[in-house]
């Protein structure tokens, strides 16, 4: 009896071993396919995602010789977009940094320089001195749809390369992440991809991917009041970021179209009733004002007009108009359908360039023609030169203000002919104190063509010196 039971058990085990394994159910196979898609996208993109470490020194004790400088370390991510070392990240990751270090997936580290940035959409372009780098392909973010799967890669909380996933929760999202009281952010453009893919501090600048491993956005911010993820994340669409790259590499600066209008963020049912608009539902964008002498004014737009569409695309939010205009260049023509006095009208507008952008561009061009390259005076160089708080106070600088320093001089240019040298600190122009790099560029742009301007320099051994440079356009 015992032998027969043992034989039966053995027979059952042999049969079970020999039987073919049952296939997983269809639902499981679909999940496994999705997991494979996640892994493929991650493996394709990971080599091109970098860690960005920044260092800056607090400005408050900047010039005090007895107070030790307090260094702040920042961290973010970046996305390599070309084999010769161009990297996309967020402007807020590198803003104010005295040094930027980029660590690749293979653990090599390089110093990075800022090619340029657009603070209005929080995108920066960096460059490292390296070749044959891995890259990740870019998708067309205009083709994204709500519900699409997306993946986020970055270096959150200093934990190393991390993959999270989610879906597109909204498109063209305005989230109010820019400080409206800041002069720099007054014209900020918010048209984010909103997702529920988890990101945290350190993810900023890393890619948001589709299931094919292509970049659809640059992870930028978290919709939260705690600074940590609580449900929604925001990414700049890659098509907007690509505009920054194209402008910087083509023109050396950001070139934006400009319309010159003030808009209500949303046309509500209450506003429709208040203004007596013949609209069956809230649609279009209400113009609360048109700036004099602007492209909009020259094209016949008025305050109280409702823009219904631009080049055939319906618009219902102010950020839709901002985004459409951002992608156009000065001189481009756009066709608007508007509602005025409850009558539909067509208007053709030739876009211009914002005056502040034009002046900054002219300033940079003039500085280049003078044979100068300048930058904000870094803390390390200030201390090395002896430009401490005592010197700064003597020259009239307040806390938070700082001059610019000459970093390179064209030996055949006007500046070299006047004896200007690298490491000269520019403190004034025509007795106007230089308090920031942007202000210096504006000063130069406003100088009268055909006359000489007095540039005031500080040198460690000589103190203040003055040179007259001819402004010649």
Residues annotated catalytic, as ranges: 92, 122, 204
CA gyration radius, the chain: 28
Q: Which of 215, 339, 341, 327 is nearest to 286 (CA)?
A: 339
Handedness of CA 340, 342, 347, 351 (dihedral sign): positive
Q: Which of 192, 189, 171, 191 is nearest to 180 (CA)?
A: 189
* DSSP bridge pairs for 352: 258
Burial (CB count within 10 angstroms: exposed 0-12, middle 13-18, buried 19+), residue 49 = buried
Which DSSP string corresponds to 232-276? EEEEEEHHHHHHHHHHHHHHSS----B--EEE-SB--HHHHHHHT
- 71 DSSP assignment: E
- 142 DSSP assignment: G
Q: Cα–Cα distance between 117 and 138 in angstroms, integer?
A: 19
Contacts 24+ apart (CB under 8 A), 352-357: 352/257, 352/258, 352/260, 352/294, 352/295, 353/255, 353/256, 353/257, 353/258, 354/187, 354/256, 354/258, 357/254, 357/255, 357/256, 357/258
For residue 150, what are its two tokens? 């997306």
Q: Cα–Cα distance between 234 and 196 in angstroms, integer?
A: 9
Check: CB of residue 202 under 8 Å from CB of residue 221. Answer: no
Q: Which of 45, 47, 55, 58 is nearest to 138 (CA)?
A: 45
């Amino acid at each position: 009896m015992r032998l027969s039971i043992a034989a039966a058990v053995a027979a059952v085990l042999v049969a079970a071993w020999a039987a073919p394994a049952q296939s997983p159910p269809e639902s499981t196979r679909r999940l496994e396919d999705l997991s494979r898609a996640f892994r493929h996208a991650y493996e394709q993109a990971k080599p091109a995602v970098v860690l960005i470490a920044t260092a800056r020194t607090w400005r408050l004790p900047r010039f005090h010789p007895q107070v030790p400088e307090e260094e702040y370390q920042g961290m973010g991510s970046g996305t390599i977009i070309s084999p010769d070392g161009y990297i996309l990240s967020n402007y807020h990751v590198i803003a104010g940094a005295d040094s930027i270090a980029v660590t690749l997936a293979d653990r090599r580290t390089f110093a990075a320089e800022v090619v340029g940035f657009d603070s209005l959409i929080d995108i920066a372009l960096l460059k490292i001195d390296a070749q044959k780098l891995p890259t990740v392909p870019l998708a067309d973010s205009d083709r994204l749809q709500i519900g699409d799967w997306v993946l986020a890669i970055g270096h959150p909380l200093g934990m190393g390369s991390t993959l999270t996933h989610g879906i597109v929760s909204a498109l063209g999202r305005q989230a109010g992440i820019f400080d409206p009281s800041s002069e720099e952010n007054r014209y900020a453009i918010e048209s984010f991809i909103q997702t529920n893919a988890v990101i945290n501090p350190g993810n900023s600048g890393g890619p948001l991917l589709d299931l094919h491993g292509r970049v659809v956005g640059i992870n930028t911010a978290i919709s939260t009041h705690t600074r940590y993820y609580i449900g929604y994340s925001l990414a700049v669409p890659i098509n907007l970021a690509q505009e920054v790259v194209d402008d910087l590499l083509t023109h050396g600066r950001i070139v934006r179209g400009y319309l010159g209008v003030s808009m209500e963020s949303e046309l509500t049912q209450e506003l429709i009733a208040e203004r007596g608009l013949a609209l069956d539902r809230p649609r279009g964008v209400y113009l609360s004002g048109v700036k004099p002498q602007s492209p909009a004014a020259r094209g016949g737009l008025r305050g109280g007009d409702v823009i219904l569409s631009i080049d055939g695309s319906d618009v219902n939010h102010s950020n839709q108009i901002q985004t459409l205009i951002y992608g156009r260049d000065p001189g481009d023509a756009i066709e608007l359908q508007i509602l005025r006095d409850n009558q539909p009208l067509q208007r053709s507008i030739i876009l211009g360039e914002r005056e502040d952008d034009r002046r900054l561009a002219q300033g940079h061009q003039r500085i280049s023609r003078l044979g100068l390259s300048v930058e904000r005076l870094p803390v390390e160089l200030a201390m090395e030169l002896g430009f401490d708080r005592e010197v700064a106070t003597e020259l009239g600088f307040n806390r938070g203000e700082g001059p610019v320093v000459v970093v390179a001089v064209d030996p055949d240019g006007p500046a070299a002919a006047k004896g200007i040298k690298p490491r000269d600190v520019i403190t004034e122009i025509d007795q106007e104190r230089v308090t920031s790099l942007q202000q210096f560029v504006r000063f130069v742009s406003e100088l009268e063509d055909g006359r000489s301007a007095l540039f005031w320099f500080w040198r460690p051994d000589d103190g203040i010196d003055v040179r007259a440079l001819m402004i010649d356009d």
